[in-house]
Amino acid sequence: MPQEIHREEVRRLVAEGAQLVEVLPSPEYEEDHLPGAIHLPLKKIDSRARDVLDRNRAVIVYCWDVA
């Protein structure tokens, strides 16, 4: 079950090597994304996740907010 986390935990996990993933569409990622975030739009997860993400490392996904 994915674990819900907040800002400080994000910073800590990223410092420990977690992969940060923005799942929003391209224009929104291109305008602003968290430092070092990988772009993997929700619609592309099925086809690309295994290619662009390391299954042996933690993954943090985010969009705009809880919506």
In whole angstroms, what is the distance from residue 29 CA to residue 27 CA?
5
Q: By CB under 8 A, is residue 38 in contact with other proteins?
A: no
Report the length, in residues, of the chain.
Answer: 67
Q: By CB under 8 A, is residue 17 in contact with other proteins?
A: no
Closest among 9, 25, 19 to 63, alpha carbons compared:
25
Q: Which of 15, 26, 36, 38 binds other proteins (CB under 8 A)?
A: 36
Residue 12 CB neighbours (<10 A): 11
Q: By CB under 8 A, is residue 46 in contact with other proteins?
A: yes
Q: For residue 9, what is the DSSP state?
A: H
Q: By CB under 8 A, is residue 34 in contact with other proteins?
A: yes
The residues of the shown chain that bind other proteins, judged by CB under 8 A, are 1-7, 9-10, 13, 18, 21-24, 29-37, 40, 42, 45-46, 49-50, 53, 55, 57-67
